[in-house]
């Protein structure tokens, strides 16, 4: 047993079988041994590829969407955008590199619970203190306004959702990583799937519960629903990108298809194996969340927000600069393959984009 498993085992000896959500929380976020606290991340050098890690195109489309909402909201200044579960900051970097029209008004708040990943935010982003971003020095603001200088973009990195009014809250592949519980239909009743001990092995233990489900195994995603309510409480538009299904559909599928582990770009082993060494992720049961105003396939959402125009722009730049073979030409060319990956009907394009209106 590794040290984290020893701790879980002690807890089980003390209290009996513990909820799966507690074990998943420790496996991913324990400050000393959790996957995200010690090494795990998205990216080519990481453990899995997410839309922002495909390349800068996803962030460029988000930048266009931010501009659309900013104009619709009457161009507020400051314009507060919170990105939760920001990982190493790749999406923020791409959004800012796309120089959206809202940039002078933009307060971009990265929220990332892992201190290790938060440390990476300052590698490519100029961070300012939250105090400065949310309550800037009056005199400085007045001076800048008089000189017609923009006050933004101001970028802040935090461990938790801030208690400020936000115009937009974004989260890419966050909800699938929030701890969940499991229910299973037995022969004559429903049980909760808890984690117990068999000798020195962590094992599933079925504990009868008063809750009732009809068939198979189901996730109970209380933390994901709570996160959506907290994000909505900031008062703005909430936009979540993730792989998702419904509870009823998941109950009919093999549970190991929707509750998965990853490490080094490969599917990992069992969810209770070598705790802290692999990612544990679950498709999001949309019906367990507050009802979104829009639920769109990622491919359609990206098209609605202009991915095709960005690809056409890229093609043009490539045609003009191919003979130079410089970085700009290469970046332009890569837009075509990035768009293919981001809209692939059986891959990222099938992800859901869930939106809650203010
Ligand atoms: C699958 S990664 C996605 C990272 C990034 N959004 C991307 O798409 O590449 C999920 C991230 O959410 C972070 N996270 C988990 N729970 C969080 C929470 N409650 N608040 C902020 N970040 C959280 C994890 O540490 C991890 O970096």
Residue 67 CA to residue 73 CA, distance in Å, equals 10
pLDDT of residue 326: 87
pLDDT tens, position by position, 314-328: 999 998 988 888 888
pLDDT of residue 24: 98
| Nearest ligand 1 atom to alpha carbon 90 | 9
Of 35-44, 176-185, 212-221, 236-245, which range is least confident? 35-44
pLDDT of residue 265: 75
Strand pairing report for 259-263 and 266-267: antiparallel
User: What does the pLDDT average to over 272-276?
Assistant: 95
Which residue has the least CA distance to atom 12 on ligand 1? 85
pLDDT tens, position by position, 235-269: 999 999 999 999 999 999 999 999 999 988 788 88
pLDDT of residue 295: 98
Distance 85 CA to ligand 1 centre (A): 3
- State residue 242 phi and psi, 5-degree precision: -170, 165
Of 19-28, 123-132, 156-165, 302-311, which range is least confident? 123-132
pLDDT of residue 142: 64
321-333 burial, b for 16+ CB within 10 Å, e for fewer?
beeeeeeebebbb
The answer for residues whose C-beta is within 8 angstroms of residue 319's C-beta and 6 or more apart is none
Tell which one of 38, 113, 116 to mutate to probe ligand 1, the residue whose CB is within 8 A of the most ligand atoms. Answer: 113
Residue 332 CA to residue 143 CA, distance in Å, equals 39
pLDDT at 146 over 70: no
258 lines ligand 1 (CB under 6 A): no
Q: Which pLDDT band, with edges at 50, 70 and 90, does 206 fall under?
A: very high
pLDDT at 191 over 90: yes
314 lines ligand 1 (CB under 6 A): no
Distance 86 CA to ligand 1 centre (A): 6
Structure tokens at 267: 């599917």
Q: Which pLDDT band, with edges at 50, 70 and 90, does 186 fall under?
A: confident
Cα of 117 vs its chain's centroid, Å: 13
Sign of CA dihedral 336, 88, 28, 82: negative
| Nearest ligand 1 atom to alpha carbon 227 | 19
pLDDT at 8 over 60: yes
pLDDT of residue 138: 64
pLDDT of residue 147: 63
Of 103-117, 126-140, 222-236, 331-345, which range is least confident? 126-140
């Amino acid at each position: 047993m590794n040290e984290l498993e020893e701790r879980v085992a002690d807890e089980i000896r003390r209290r009996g079988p513990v909820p799966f959500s507690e074990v998943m929380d420790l496996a991913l976020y324990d400050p000393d041994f959790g996957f995200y606290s010690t090494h795990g991340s998205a990216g080519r050098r990481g453990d899995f590829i997410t839309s922002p890690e495909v390349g800068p195109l996803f962030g460029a489309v988000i930048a266009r969407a931010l501009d659309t909402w900013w104009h619709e909201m009457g161009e507020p200044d400051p314009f507060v955008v919170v990105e939760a579960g920001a990982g190493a900051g790749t999406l923020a970097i791409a959004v800012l590199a796309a120089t959206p029209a809202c940039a002078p008004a933009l307060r971009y708040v990265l929220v990332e619970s892992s201190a290790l990943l938060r440390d990476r935010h300052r590698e490519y982003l100029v961070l300012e203190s939250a105090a400065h971003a949310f309550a800037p020095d009056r005199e400085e603001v007045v001076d800048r306004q008089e000189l017609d200088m923009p006050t933004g973009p101001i970028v802040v990195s935090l461990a938790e959702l801030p208690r400020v009014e936000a115009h937009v809250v974004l989260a890419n592949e966050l909800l699938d990583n929030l701890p969940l519980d499991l229910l299973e239909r037995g022969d004559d009743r429903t049980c909760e799937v808890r984690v117990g001990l068999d000798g020195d092995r962590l094992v599933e233990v079925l504990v009868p519960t008063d809750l009732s489900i009809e068939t198979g195994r189901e996730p109970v995603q209380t933390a994901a629903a709570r996160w959506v309510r907290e994000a909505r409480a900031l008062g703005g538009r909430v936009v979540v990108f993730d792989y998702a299904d419904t509870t009823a559909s998941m109950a009919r599928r093999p549970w190991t298809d929707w509750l998965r582990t990853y490490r080094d770009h490969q599917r990992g082993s069992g969810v209770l194996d070598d705790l802290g060494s692999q990612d544990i992720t679950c498709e999001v049961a949309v019906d367990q969340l507050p009802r979104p105003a829009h639920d769109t396939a990622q491919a359609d959402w990206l098209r609605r927000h202009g991915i095709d125009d960005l690809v056409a722009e890229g093609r043009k730049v490539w045609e003009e600069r191919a003979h130079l073979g410089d970085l700009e030409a290469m970046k332009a060319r890569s837009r075509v393959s990035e768009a293919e990956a981001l809209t692939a009907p059986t891959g990222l394009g099938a992800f859901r984009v869930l939106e809650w209106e203010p």
